[in-house]
Amino acid sequence: MPGQSVGAVQSHCAHFSEPIELRSGGVLPAYDLVYETYGTLNAAKSNAILVCHALSGHHHVAGHYADQPDNIGWWDNIIGPGRPLDTDRYFIVGLNNLGGCHGSTGPSTPNPATGQPWGADFPMVAVSDWVEAQARLADRLGIDAWAAVIGGSLGGMQALRWSISFPERIRHALIIASAPRLSAQNIAFNDVARQAILTDPDFHGGHYYAHGVRPVRGLRLARMLGHITYLSDDQMGEKFGRELKNGSFSFDYDVEFQIESYLRYQGDKFAGHFDANTYLLMTKALDYFDPARLDGGDLKRTMARTRAGFLVVSFTTDWRFTPARSREIVAALVANGRNVSYAESSLNFGHDSFLMEDSHYHGVIDAYLRNIVL
Amino acid sequence: MPGQSVGAVQSHCAHFSEPIELRSGGVLPAYDLVYETYGTLNAAKSNAILVCHALSGHHHVAGHYADQPDNIGWWDNIIGPGRPLDTDRYFIVGLNNLGGCHGSTGPSTPNPATGQPWGADFPMVAVSDWVEAQARLADRLGIDAWAAVIGGSLGGMQALRWSISFPERIRHALIIASAPRLSAQNIAFNDVARQAILTDPDFHGGHYYAHGVRPVRGLRLARMLGHITYLSDDQMGEKFGRELKNGSFSFDYDVEFQIESYLRYQGDKFAGHFDANTYLLMTKALDYFDPARLDGGDLKRTMARTRAGFLVVSFTTDWRFTPARSREIVAALVANGRNVSYAESSLNFGHDSFLMEDSHYHGVIDAYLRNIVL
């Protein structure tokens, strides 16, 4: 893929002193949102794209920090001059969502009522709350309407929700590797992950900060499990197969197969830095997401609320959110006569395909965004 | 399905004082095998069927105990007069495998060297070890050759291994919902389950018996995760969907969706009685199973060692061991000109389908067994 990185970037913090009432009934009296921007907002303020993050993502979407050259944004491969999210043309905004653990107000930031981390007292957040908070950030940046909102997985759900909550403020929604709601199996995986964290003796009912510990065992298990669902069976087979770590069976519970080494490494790495309460909140936001509830479960009626153009992309090897789930969204849009493009990629990385660089997949995004009239 | 239960049954214990050397290099100086039999061994001793159990199974395969009328064997629906494993015709044997926790020698039984439970000192057991122990039980019962060996999942792997290890002692192998080896994804799920147990603070390196505790948190997570892989996505969707436990969102970490209630119940129930060390051993036996290693990974060459007739059955909704995995076995048998029948059932219960009562599925087993000449 041609194009370059955006290079050195900076993050910013926007403080909001107006309370936000959440879907769960909870209220945040004030909050911070950490965000980054790449490219330049044009005079008409018509070229802004919002990038929404998935479960473990954040505001550092592209580029690197001047003092941390190896700290590359999580979707750097798609953003920059000449890349599909072309910063010569677009003004890109990424943020850390409410409840996150990368600087925005969340369970690990101080509860103004106590001065201590919110912990388990942080209210549940829903996708619709994130979209509301993102709309306030747009106000702050002077953006009346996004040229596009884009995201993969849980990020795609935010793009979808934008098209429903603020039909006049989003011109295009790019919904990648996503679903209109979780299946029972999706919820089941989330619940096992949550139970791993909730039953970790170091969880302390969510107030582990005060105990000077973190539920790393539970978080590690949650991430190992998550990783299985992010990868395709085939890719896992091709990459790891039954290859042994040390050439022969050791007949103990240390790492025996390469796949075990990979999973444990991923689990350890994640558990070392991610906040467990945030992980819990994100999985609950996934479970709750079901915009068709607005209309008695009828997704077609819900999508009648939208005005945007849509690009929906799925991956044949994604068994977490299969192409069939994306096609539910497409069908509901088509039934309403909405302008919708759909692409199915055969990228072999399962659910994680949406993060990968691939000429076909990126070409689809590129072509769609190039055709938007600013 | 016509047919009756075998009614009241009794379990027996066979003590073996000859040491058994295991695939892992470990040795059991002596051991017990708990078993049950149903029906009558004929004079020619040609009508014996061995039923092998899967991960959490045991010797109580059919019928009930006189003093425990509700304690029904785990595969009762297929065994009895007039049922596919017809006790009017066959002599059925079920046993608890070495390393089990239902009476046979395993981690929770005393280590003769210490008088304390073996715990983590119990040697790793492989499918080939189980088959060896089962052969010694056959000797004890006077059975030179099984009319058939049958099993689902890990039980099917034992039937397959029988056909390779003792080609002259098995006339038919019935391999159901099984695979010739685990995939990387299969191993990955097993490893997450093991890590849940191994990192439970109550595991105490496998010597939890001495501490008066059990790693119930880890075992519960392992079972919850297992259950997701045993059920089909579709069936989970049909049975539970996104149905809420209390009709509306509660926005907390208690049970919100019915599927969570089901999984936690299954996890609690299992963790209440199963031995964690046995669970670990069983999952490792699954991981290690790969008989084609005998022949440099060439399953076709390995299956050339067999002499039995084969019935291979798979389920289209089984995503743990898909039909493609069964067809690998069939292809290797066909390539060797072996007598093999293959059936694919569309039963909707995922991997667990093999335990279900169904006229098509049971009809296939019934027809195959009826055609065996005793």
What is the rounded end-to-end Cα distance, in angstroms, of chain B? 24
Tell me if B373 sits within 8 A of B147, measured CB to CB.
no
For the segment A191-211, what is each residue's pLDDT rounded down to a tens digit?
999 999 999 999 999 999 999
The answer for residues whose C-beta is within 8 angstroms of residue A165's C-beta and 6 or more apart is A128, A131, A132, A135
Cβ-based contacts of A231 with chain B (< 8 Å): 185
Q: Report residue B79: phi and psi, to 5°.
A: -125, 130
Confidence of residue A161 (pLDDT cuts 50, 70, 90): very high
Q: Which of A364, A372, A362 has its CA nearest to residue A1?
A: A362
What pLDDT does residue B1 have? Answer: 54
How many CB atoms are located within 10 Å of the residue B113 CB?
Answer: 9
What is the rounded end-to-end Cα distance, in angstroms, of chain A? 24
In three-state secondary structure terms, A354 is helix
Q: Which of B107, B159, B104, B153 has its CA nearest to residue B128?
A: B159
Tell me if A221 sits within 8 A of A267, measured CB to CB.
yes
Q: Which of A128, A192, A248 to mutate to probe the B interface, most B CBs <10 Å?
A: A192
What pLDDT does residue A247 have? Answer: 87
Q: Which of A220, A233, A243, A251 to mutate to probe the B interface, most B CBs <10 Å?
A: A251
Lowest mean pLDDT among A156-165, A170-179, A247-256, A294-303: A247-256
Distance from CA of B95 to the nearest CA of A (A): 24
- Per the CB < 8 Å rule, is A233 touching B183? yes
| DSSP label of A291 | G
ipTM above 0.90, yes or no: yes
How far apart are the C-alpha atoms of A25 and A334, rounded to whole Å? 34
Of B181, B187, B249, the CB nearest to A259: B187
Cβ-based contacts of A226 with chain B (< 8 Å): none
Q: Which of B171, B147, B131 has its CA nearest to residue B306?
A: B171
Tell me if B240 sits within 8 A of B283, measured CB to CB.
no
Of B181, B263, B284, the CB nearest to A191: B263
Q: Where are the alpha helices (DSSP H) in chain A?
A: 127-141, 154-165, 184-198, 216-230, 233-239, 258-271, 276-288, 299-303, 323-334, 359-370
- Per the CB < 8 Å rule, is A259 touching B188? yes
Tell me if B160 sits within 8 A of B180, measured CB to CB.
yes
- Per the CB < 8 Å rule, is A287 touching B256? yes
Q: What is the pLDDT along chain B (374 residues), one digit of tens a residue?
A: 579 999 999 999 999 999 999 999 999 999 999 999 999 999 999 999 999 999 999 999 999 999 999 999 999 999 999 999 999 999 999 999 999 999 999 999 999 999 999 999 999 999 999 999 999 999 999 999 999 999 999 999 999 999 999 999 999 999 999 999 999 999 999 999 999 999 999 999 999 999 999 999 999 999 999 999 999 989 999 999 999 998 889 999 999 999 999 999 999 999 999 999 999 999 999 999 999 999 999 999 999 999 999 999 999 999 999 999 999 999 999 999 999 999 999 999 999 999 999 999 999 999 999 999 99
In three-state secondary structure terms, B14 is strand
| Closest alpha carbon within chain B to A120 | B252
Cα distances (Å, whole numbers) of residue B131 to B159, B170, B282: 8, 11, 14
Distance from CA of A257 to the nearest CA of B (A): 8
How far apart are the C-alpha atoms of B372 and B265, rounded to whole Å? 42
> What percent of chain A has a predicted confidence (pLDDT) above 90?
98
What pLDDT does residue B76 have? Answer: 98
The answer for residues whose C-beta is within 8 angstroms of residue A139's C-beta and 6 or more apart is none
Q: Reply yes or no on whether A108 is catalytic.
A: no
Cβ-based contacts of A259 with chain B (< 8 Å): 184, 187-188, 191
| Closest alpha carbon within chain B to A206 | B253
Average pLDDT (A311-324) is 97
Cβ-based contacts of A323 with chain B (< 8 Å): none
What pLDDT does residue B247 have? Answer: 87
How far apart are the C-alpha atoms of B252 and A284, rounded to whole Å? 9
In three-state secondary structure terms, A137 is helix
| DSSP label of B123 | P
Average pLDDT (A247-270) is 95
Q: Which residues of B297-318 are buried (b: 16+ CB within 10 A; e: fewer)?
A: eebeebbbebebbbbbbbbebb
Residue A140 has pLDDT above 70, yes or no: yes
Q: What angle do CA B280, B285, B287 make, to 5 degrees?
A: 95
Of A189, A224, A231, the CB nearest to B195: A224
Residue A160 has pLDDT above 90, yes or no: yes
For the segment A22-38, what is each residue's pLDDT rounded down to a tens digit?
999 999 999 999 999 99
pTM: 0.96
Q: How many A×B Cβ pairs under 8 Å?
A: 141
Confidence of residue A1 (pLDDT cuts 50, 70, 90): low
- Per the CB < 8 Å rule, is A242 touching B280? no
Average pLDDT (A288-299) is 97
- Per the CB < 8 Å rule, is A124 touching B189? no
Q: What angle do CA B12, B16, B22 make, to 5 degrees?
A: 115
Q: Which of A234, A243, A259 to mutate to probe the B interface, most B CBs <10 Å?
A: A259
Average pLDDT (A43-69) is 97
Q: Which of A331, A222, A202, A213 has its CA nearest to residue A286?
A: A222
Tell me if A254 sits within 8 A of A269, measured CB to CB.
no
Q: Which residues of B78-107 are buried (b: 16+ CB within 10 A; e: fewer)?
A: bbbbebbbbbebbbbbbbbbbbbbbbbbbb
Cβ-based contacts of A214 with chain B (< 8 Å): none
How far apart are the C-alpha atoms of A176 and B292, rounded to whole Å? 41
Q: Report residue B76: phi and psi, to 5°.
A: -60, -35
Cβ-based contacts of A288 with chain B (< 8 Å): 249
Q: Which conformational region is residue A7 in: left (phi greater than 0), alpha (psi within -120 to 50 degrees), or beta?
A: left
Cβ-based contacts of A221 with chain B (< 8 Å): 192, 195-196, 199, 221
> What percent of chain A has a predicted confidence (pLDDT) above 70?
100
What pLDDT does residue B336 have? Answer: 98
Distance from CA of B307 to the nearest CA of A (A): 28
For the segment A165-179, what is each residue's pLDDT rounded down to a tens digit?
999 999 999 999 999
Q: Which of B127, B219, B243, B249 to mutate to probe the A interface, most A CBs <10 Å?
A: B249
Q: Which burial class, exposed, middle or buried, applies to B256 when counting CB atoms under 10 A from its CB (0-12, 13-18, 19+)?
A: buried
How many CB atoms are located within 10 Å of the residue A105 CB?
Answer: 26
Cα distances (Å, whole numbers) of residue B334 to B152, B241, B300, B329: 21, 41, 9, 9
Distance from CA of A203 to the nearest CA of B (A): 13
Please report which helix (H) or strand (E) contains residue B357, including its range. Answer: none
Distance from CA of B209 to the nearest CA of A (A): 19
Quickly tell me which residue has 């106000």 as its tokens: A139
Q: Where are the alpha helices (DSSP H) in chain B?
A: 127-141, 154-165, 184-198, 216-230, 233-239, 258-271, 276-288, 299-303, 323-334, 359-370
Average pLDDT (A93-122) is 97
Task: Point out the residues of B that are catalytic.
Answer: 153, 318, 351
Q: Reply yes or no on whether A183 is catalytic.
A: no
- Per the CB < 8 Å rule, is B242 touching A192? no
Distance from CA of A240 to the nearest CA of B (A): 6
| DSSP label of A127 | H
Task: Name the CA radius of gyration of chain A, rounded.
Answer: 20
How far apart are the C-alpha atoms of B134 and A200, rounded to whole Å? 40
What pLDDT does residue A20 have? Answer: 98
Cβ-based contacts of B237 with chain A (< 8 Å): 183-185
